[in-house]
Amino acid sequence: MSLPEEPGGATDRGADPAYSWRRPELVLALVVLALGAFVIVGTADVTAAGSTFGLGPRFFPIIVGSALLLIGLFYVLDVVRGGRGDPEQAEDADTDAPADWRTVVLVSVIFLAFAGLLDLLGWIIAGALLFFGLSVTLGAEHRLRAGVVAVVLSTLTYLAFVKGLGVTLPAGLLSGVI
Amino acid sequence: MDSFQLLMEGFATALTPINLIYALIGVTLGTLVGVLPGIGPAMTVALLLPITFSVPPASAFIMFAGIYYGGMYGGSTTSILLNTPGESSSMITALEGNKMAKRGRAAQALATAAIGSFVAGTIATGLLVVAAPLVVDFAISFGPEDYFALAILAFTAVSSVLSRSVVRGLASLGVGLVIGLIGIDQQTGQARLTMGVPQLLDGIDVVIVAVGLFALGEVLYVASRLRHGEPEVVPVGRPFLGRSDWSRSWRPWLRGTALGFPFGALPGGGAEIPTFLSYTVEKKLARGVTREEFGKGAIEGVAGPEAANNASAAGTLVPLLTLGLPTSATAAILLAAFQQYGLQPGPQLFDHNPALVWGMIASLFIGNTMLLVLNLPLAPLWARVLHIPRPYLYSGIVLFAALGVYALNSSWVDMVILYVLGVLGFAMRRFGLPIAPAVIGLILGPMAEVQLRRALAIGAGDVTVLVRSPMAAVLLAVALLALFAPLIRKLAARRITG
């Protein structure tokens, strides 16, 4: 793991480097804090006069925003003082392995490219490319097999959901063919 | 008996051939998806939501009942045969279950899990039939302040119970509440937090949030630290129980049921606490050889927690159906499914849609029986599912996640939102923020707001209206207690040590 290792879990504040501003989790804590500010500032333009008791559409957001500012503050303090959450257990994730950012970025790029090209290419082509790209990125050994699985899966889901269940999926380039 | 009659009518709805087929599809898909590593019951329900879009409501909920129970069954197979459970509720099953499997007793472990789930599910669904009408009678007099207090209790309980760190649970809850604020205010028609994006006016669909946080978040997380090499799956034949296994299993099943149902029905109770308690109880009660076996694969340690797990799933349905109060992430997604059909669970649902509610409850009994019949002979087949190469598995999860989200509005903007939520889910996993509070905050937040504004409007601006009903006062007090209990415990511990 790239962050300084500390024994124990969330509530432990061991004798280890107690106060530090250099923790990756701080980013998340600051996002929470910023979200609180965003709710309060972002609803400033909501002006409808509700009832006379100040219960307009800004009433609840201000409560949520203030609460979030408070929570964010405590969260930042906790992180700075060395508190740490337990990374989630998952079947296929090795929590002791160092983070593999290259794979994460590649997965992200493939997914966003899929999102952008889906309407143009259609579900079958875009879906097959998405599956193929991701499985190769995640370590599929036989590219040919991955390609075949990708095409079969995207075609089958298209047929099952569009023809069978009446769900709308884009036909894209293949609109005349299928 | 009134509810007995309604239940019989429910069976009449659920036992029509077409609905039986929907139930069968539901349990099969639920088990299949639930067996897949990396997919818990909540994600199973979220991913399978789009399948029900074109189905009439009564049939859709019969299918959902099957998916819900099927997902639980599937999860236990995974944790017994593959020693790295993803969901916290089946973590306990893996403790003894996987050790049994490694000692060559996989067939018995699966059998006690399946039969125990059947016994617990059937008894707990029976308790649901008895409890639901009682809660409905009680809840019919609830005012807006009571509902607001209930929501607050659900918020604090789920945030402080599910996480070892209360501040992280609350942060997750807050994120969910903010997402719930986005869109047009239901009462005044004002747009809030939409940042000028027209697609956000209707708010962010719960399905996108659930699929993003659970499915895409999980894939990104796994991608960041993929375990390389073949996972070790214990081979298994057809599950069966010997005579001594039966006599060692039936008491833990019943004890597990007794623990699971009430905890499932409580806000923040969920399945984690009762499965853990059941394990502890069985370990304490063990004598002689059994005691030695604990830690090396004792059948009691599988039978009890599995029963508790399934009983709590039925327990969760009590507050969900009668009050519209989800107490787990899975329940929150079920609630979203109801809302998609324009239905609001609560006392009125039992009045206005008895056929739907009782049909769903009846199909829980049917689905449970189907699962027992399906799972005992099909276990070797499910075990084979565990061998799916991981690159295909996670690519498939993303493909279906995209499919489910695109099916909602056919919009690429939703896909971008899905990705952003996936990154959020990734960060939450990495830093140990529980996901359930976010999903519950998202779905209960708007309800809490409506009830709060309604209560304050009735009270003409007087804030004490929120605690005027004794019910609301008690609920809010318990909510505060749930929030500060970990803090008080810590202070007490510090005083003792210091």
* Out of B163, B224, B399, closest to residue A131 by CB: B399
Question: Is residue A16's pLDDT more than 60?
Answer: no
Q: What is the pLDDT of residue A23?
A: 81
State how far the alpha carbon of B44 is from the alpha carbons of B211, B212, B295, in Å: 9, 13, 30
Instruction: Answer whether A85 sits within 8 Å of B165, measured CB to CB.
Output: yes
Q: What's the Cα-to-Cα distance from A21 to each of A2, A78, B127, B188, B411, rounded to whole Å?
A: 15, 11, 52, 43, 40
Mean pLDDT in each 10-residue stretch from start to end of chain B (498 residues)?
84 92 92 84 82 81 89 86 68 86 89 93 95 91 92 90 83 95 85 86 89 91 80 79 90 95 84 88 87 88 93 93 90 88 89 90 94 87 87 93 89 94 93 90 92 87 85 92 81 71
| b/e sequence B212-239, b meaning 16+ C-beta within 10 Å | bbbbbbbbbbbbbbbbeeebebbebeeb
Contacts of A57 in chain B (CB under 8 A): 185, 187-188, 190, 192
**Which string of b and e fits B99-117 if b means at least 16 CB within 10 Å?**
bbbbeebbbbbbbbbbbbb
CB contact under 8 A, A94 and B227: yes
- How far apart CA B398 and CA A154 sit, in angstroms, is 12
What is the structure's pLDDT at B414?
Answer: 93
Q: Which chain A residues contact residue B82 at CB under 8 A?
A: 91
Element (H, E) at A39: helix A25-42
* Full DSSP string of B187-256: TT--EES-TT-GGGTT---HHHHHIIIIIIHHHHHHHHTBPPS-------------HHHHHHHHHHHHHH
Average pLDDT over residues A57-69: 92
Token pair of B478 as six digits: 């318990």
Instruction: Give the three-state DSSP class for B317.
Output: helix
Which of B392, B442, B484, B487 to probe by mutation at the A interface, max A CB count within 10 Å? B392
- CB contact at 8 A, B270 and B439: no
| Contacting residues of A for B193, CB less than 8 Å apart | 38-39, 42-43, 61
CB B216 within 8 A of CB B268: no
Radius of gyration of chain A measured on its C-alpha atoms:
24
User: Which of B285, B343, B368 has its CA nearest to residue B61?
Assistant: B343
Q: What is the pTM of this model?
A: 0.88
Q: A154–B490: do the CB atoms touch at under 8 Å?
A: no
Query: Quick check: A8 pLDDT over 60?
Result: no
Backbone torsion region of residue A54, taken as left when φ is above 0, otherwise alpha when ψ lies between -120 and 50, otherwise beta: left
In chain B, the number of structural domains is 1
Residue in B37, B177, B432 closest to A92 by CB = B37
Mean pLDDT to the nearest integer, A104-115: 96
**B216 contacts on A by Cβ (under 8 Å):** 111
Return phi, psi of residue B202, to 5°: -85, 5
DSSP assignment of B373-431: HHHHHHHHHHHHHTTS-HHHHHHHHHHHHHHHHHHHH--HHHHHHHHHHHHHHHHHHHT
Which member of B188, B226, B415 has the closest CB to residue A138?
B226
Taking only the tens place, the pLDDT of each residue in A121-173 is 999 999 999 999 999 999 888 999 999 999 999 999 999 888 877 788 888 88
- Cα distance between residue A56 and residue A71, in whole Å: 24
pLDDT at position A92 over 90: no
| Domain encompassing residue B325 | 3-496
List of chain A residues whose C-beta atoms are within 8 Å of the C-beta of residue B231? 91-92
pLDDT band at A12 (very low <50, low <70, confident <90, very high): very low
Res A88: pLDDT? 74
| B226 Cα to chain A: minimum distance (Å) | 5
- Is there a contact between B181 and A60 if contact means CB atoms under 8 Å apart? yes
Which DSSP symbol is given to A93? B
Tell me how far apart the alpha carbons of residues A156 and A147 are, in angstroms, rounded to a whole number. Answer: 14
Chain A residue nearest residue B425, CA to CA: A88
